Structure 1
Amino acid sequence: MKITDKINNLEPSQPFYSFEYFPPKTDEGLTNLYDRLKRMSHLDPLFASFTWGAGGSTIDRTTDMCATAQSLYGLESCMHLTCTNVVRGTIEKALKEAKSAGIQNILALRGDPPRGQEYWTSCDNDFTHAIDLVRFIRKEYEDYFCIGVAGYPEGNPDSDNKEQDLKFLKQKVDAGADFIITQLFYDVNSFIEWREECRKIGINVPIIPGIMPIQGYNSFRRITNLCRIHIPSEILNVLEQIKHDDQAVKDYGVTLAVSMISKLVNVHKIRGFHLCTMNLEKSVRLILEKLKFVQTEEERNLRRLNRRRSSAGFVANDIIRQEPDGSLPTAKPVIWKEQSVDYLGRSEDWDNFPNGRWGDARSPAFGELDGYGVSLRIPPEQALRYWQNPTTLDDLKQVFKSYILGEIPALPWYEEPLYAETEAIQSNLVQLNELGYLTVSSQPAVDGAKSDDPIYGWGPRGGYVYQKAFVEFFVSPENLEKLIKKIAKNPWITYYASNRNGNLKTNIKEDAPSAVTWGVFPGKEIVQPTIIEEVSFKAWKDEAYALWTEWEHLYPKDSPSQRLLRDIGDNWWLVNLVHHNYVESEGIWDIFFKP
């Protein structure tokens, strides 16, 4: 059913909401996302949208998710479709499969702009803007699809002209768009002013505000910087005081979203909202409960209990079979280890704190802090200012060293300066890069820092946090072989190494997760937010090498800089090395610096 028809069928004052998901990076994550979709379907969203990877990279997974959500869980699906860096055949295939699966809703987007000559010439010039996609869908499928487009209350991040942005939006509506979903915002007044401007120029289709609950401080800062979102000072002031307390940040994210939506509903009479879930569940449910859009968990449990209570006064799970003597059977305890399913995937909050890319690879949210997929997170012109035009390995070493020393604020793998904790190992990292190990991630060993420590702390107050030292880097095949021989003599070190083609080397005999960050807090079990394992390393490997390619495409085709980056991306290895003796803070560096 079309989204606009569903909206029109509601009572005039009835609120509605929708959920947004992205394709998980791993098969385990996808399996667990389906469990999550099943539970979240009971929250009764008007529809669920599913994002589309850059260049159509997730076409099969996205269409499968839409079809599954719709056919199995009764969730009206809206498939994102981006046209930049996508050939015509890919778009035709996606639309054909969507129609075949009964999907009637498409969110037509431009996607990331092309980055360099090679990207541009490899794509279909028929599709350069979202309006081209809207026109194509209308021409090929007439009114079968309900088409949504994106709106930017604070201006398109790739444009400095908000007035022109509004004109482009009007053109997309005139070309056949049926509704608008906005980019996230945290300033309600700016959204209201923008919405009024839309109405003034004749944009009369439904405008659904995009709301992204704050799931973590670092991910919040990353996405708002990427999208150039204005953050009111009162929000920043609150977050600054609690940014080291993950639970407090998450709780504030719920409170803030409830406050924003309440203002939109009660003051401005706006009744529809699009919640960006980031493939997480608990915050979304709490927001809807606090708004009284859905019953609380306690109310739902009580309702189920009352519905299942039999006339004999006991609770029936499905069918209670009596014993031969007429008595009820004795309840058996659940033995978790005997269950064939992974019960981590059954709870709503087992992955409530996805701590960057080294969270649990089984989580639907694994490896994605913003859901936008693989791309450079800074504009090309800015990236070129930072990274210049390296033509030799020494030039490249200098780029990495400059980042470690704080002389440039970003690398392709990280668009923000290093954390304060890196100062403790800064000199080691500089020396490592000078030796030809191009570092992209690291952390020092920590033996019981207080959880409110301004440098190492995280989680609720009153606890202690621990870290194993690890370092991740790109290295030449020759240096990798020398390193592996030295690692064989050190029982404290484990490693994963892979090249672009996926050839894996490791000294880990049994594939088991390795916790490299954990915390001990009052009244809680040990929390392990950072886990390194083979499946997560492989998923990150694909992204890491894709970012080499993104960097490569900043330069003219076959230029010295492009050839250098391509050669390293094609031939060097990505290595993650962990030192498991977290009491010995310098142990990890001996493997590199001692004979």
Structure 2
Amino acid sequence: MKVIDILNNSKSTLFSFELLPPLKGHNIETIFATIDKLLPYNPAYINITYHREEVVYMPNENGIQVPVKVRRRPGTIGLAAAIQQRYAIDVVPHIICGGFDAHETEDALIDLDFLGIHNILAVRGDADKITGRFEPRAGGHRYAIDLVKQVTDLNRGVYLEKLMEKPKPTNFCIGVAGYPEKHPESPNCESDIHYLKKKVEAGASYIVTQMFFDNKLYFNFVDKCRKAGIAVPIVPGLKPISIKEHLSILPRVFDVQIPQALVLELEKCKTNNQAAQLGMEWAIEQSRELKSSGVKAIHFYTMGKADNIAQIAKAVF
């Protein structure tokens, strides 16, 4: 089923979550173990991230460290197919701009269509970790809206090359990302929402947000989107704090704010176990308030950890 239909048909707030493909050399059983822990809470769909290549330094035959491009987490499409087949739960693989050209993107979408996977999340992907800038591959897309347009074209039967008279249209439901605290590279919130509306007009059916730790940010974001004419569902995304270092890691990596009340409590924690417990309690309160407001779903970023998400889901859903 398409995610937009799942959201629109829901009579209560749904539970969904995101997974990372296992690191190269690991097996799928770790992913199945994570899903098994979260199955009792009836996930409506499962997102699976997609990852571009990274530059790492490895010794050559002379022992000299040289830069090598590697993909640490390949396998998104295969993992999506395995999960949907094993659990009969709709999956939402991410499709990204970074590291892929338009033809590779089309091939990935065709593979997903063959496999009966008809939901995707279209995102640009991260900037280069060294330069801090995003540069597309030659022939690739610079912005997520270009991905949305390519998928929308496929849904109309428009492929990159005209190889037959009546090519089969695909049937993808497209999700896109929204940023309650604005995208780190946007000059201001108004500009950010302007371009988010463009993605919806290009064919996106729903929005899922970046993590946030203050629900007022989400409610204000939704209000601004509605005033701008964005009418599609906006699913809040939550990431529970699980280690003390998240106080510095999350603001630096994801450009999000942590409320001072939460900061003060985290600073009192002497161990990561205490920090994780506090993170769960904070996320439970966030989730309960969001649920009482009538959101269609709450989406959780697991980062490969299921135990804390299971405790939150048990308390909320």
The answer to whether the superposition gives a TM-score over 0.5 is yes
Q: Which residue is equivalent to 1:47? A: 45
Partner residue in 1 for 2:291: 265
Corresponding position of 1:8 = 8
1:279 aligns to what? 304
Moved more, 159-168 or 32-41: 32-41
Per-residue deviation, residues 284-322 of structure 1 (Å, max 9, x unmatched): 11111112x1xxxxxxxxxxxxxxxxxxxxxxxxxxxxx
Gaps of 5+ in 2: 55-70, 157-169
Q: For 2:83 and 2:247, how far apart are their aligned partners in 1? A: 27
Counterpart mapping for 1:136-151 below 5 A: 136-142=150-156, 144-151=171-178
1:166 aligns with 2:193: yes
Q: How does 1:572-583 map to 2 (within 5 A)?
A: none
Any idea what SS the aligned residue of 1:77 has? strand
CA distance in 1, matches of 2:179, 2:288: 21
Contact 1:55 1:83 in 2 (8 A): no
Q: Distance in 1 between matches of 2:37 and 2:299?
A: 18
Is the Cα contact below 8 Å between 1:47 and 1:77 reproduced in 2? yes
Shift of 1:70: 0.4
Q: Which moved more, 1:218-227 or 1:205-214?
A: 218-227
Indicate the SS of the match to 2:26: helix
Please give the residue correspondences for 1:235-250 in structure 2 after superposition, counting only pairs within 5 Å.
235-242=262-269, 244-250=270-276
- Percent identity of paired positions between Structure 1 and Structure 2: 30
- Please report how far the alpha carbon of residue 189 of structure 1 lies from its aligned counterpart in structure 2 after TM superposition: 0.7
The one-letter code sitting in structure 1 at the alignment partner of 2:143 is H
Q: Distance in 1 between matches of 2:103 and 2:258?
A: 40
- Cα deviation code 1:309-341 (max 9, x no counterpart): xxxxxxxxxxxxxxxxxxxxxxxxxxxxxxxxx
Paired with 2:111 and 2:37, the residues of 1 have a C-alpha distance of: 26
Shift of 1:220: 4.9
CA pair 59-135 structure 1, distance change in 2 beyond 3 A: farther
- Answering whether residue 60 of structure 2 is matched by residue 33 of structure 1, we say no
Please state how far the C-alpha of 1:75 moved relative to its aligned partner.
Answer: 2.0
The size of the alignment, in residue pairs, is: 286
Deviations for 1:331-369, whole angstroms, at most 9, x for unmatched residues?
Answer: xxxxxxxxxxxxxxxxxxxxxxxxxxxxxxxxxxxxxxx
Rate the CA distance shift 1:147–1:58 in 2: closer, same or farther, 3 A. Answer: farther
* Matched position secondary structure for 1:217: coil
RMSD: 2.1
Shift in alpha-carbon separation, 1:52–1:220, aligned structure 2, 3 A:
farther
Which of the residues 177, 194, 199 maps onto 2:221?
A: 194
Residue 95 of structure 1, aligned match among 104, 109, 113: 109
Question: CA separation of 1:109/1:55 partners in 2, compared to 1, >3 Å: closer, same or farther?
Answer: farther
- Distance across 2 between alignment mates of 1:235 and 1:59: 32
User: How much does 1:23 deviate?
Assistant: 1.1
Instruction: Give the drift of 1:123.
Output: 1.4
Structure 1, 153-162 or 85-94: larger mean CA deviation: 85-94
Contact 1:85–1:124 (8 Å) recurs in 2: no
Per-residue CA distance 1:218-277 (angstroms, 9 max, x = gap): 1453122212111111000000010x31111111111000111111222x3324111111
Code of the residue aligned with 1:147 in structure 2: it is: I
Which residue does 1:135 correspond to in 2?
149
How far apart are 1:39 and its partner, in Å?
Answer: 3.7
1:29–1:218 Cα change, 3 Å: farther
2-structure distance, mates of 1:60, 1:212: 23
Contact 2:97 2:123 in 1 (8 A): yes
* CA distance in 2 between partners of 1:210 and 1:219 (Å): 17
Conserved? CA contact 2:84–2:91, under 8 Å? yes
Contact 2:148 2:199 in 1 (8 A): yes
Deviation at 1:26, TM superposition (A): 4.3
Tell me the distance in 2 between the aligned counterparts of 1:73 and 1:265. Answer: 26
Distance 2:311 2:246 in 1: 20
- Cα separation, 2, equivalents of 1:106 and 1:187: 27
Select between 282-291 and 19-28 the one with higher mean Cα deviation. 19-28
59 and 148 in structure 1: CA distance in 2 versus 1, 3 angstrom threshold: farther
**Structure 2 match to 1:17:** 15
Q: Distance in 2 between matches of 1:229 and 1:66?
A: 29
Q: State the match for 1:288 in structure 2.
A: 313
The CA deviation at 1:27 is 3.6
Shift of 1:192: 0.7
Task: State the partner residue of 1:211.
Answer: 238
* Structure with more relative contact order (C-alpha pairs < 8 Å, separation 6 or more): 2
What's the offset of the Cα at 1:149?
0.4
Where in structure 1 are there 5+ consecutive unaligned residues?
294-595
Deviation at 1:90, TM superposition (A): 1.9
The letter for the 2-side match of 1:176 is G
Q: Distance in 1 between matches of 2:177 and 2:304?
A: 20
Q: Does structure 1 retain, via aligned residues, the 8 Å contact 2:97–2:141?
A: yes
1:425-464 equivalences in 2 (<5 Å): none
Q: What residue is the counterpart of 1:252 in the other structure?
A: 278
Alignment partners' CA distance in 2, 1:221 and 1:17: 28
AA of the residue aligned to 1:289 = K
Residue by residue over 1:515-551, the C-alpha shift from the partner in whole angstroms, topping out at 9 and shown as x without a partner, is: xxxxxxxxxxxxxxxxxxxxxxxxxxxxxxxxxxxxx
TM superposition shift of 1:125: 4.1
**Structure 2: which amino acid aligns with 1:50?**
I
Name the CA distance, whole Å, in 1 between partners of 2:148 and 2:79.
22
- Alignment partners' CA distance in 1, 2:27 and 2:300: 20
- Which secondary structure state, in structure 1, belongs to the residue aligned with residue 240 of structure 2? coil
Please name the residue that 1:83 is paired with.
Answer: 97
Partner residue of 1:64 out of 78, 90, 93: 78
Q: Is the 8 A contact 1:41 1:75 kept in 2?
A: no
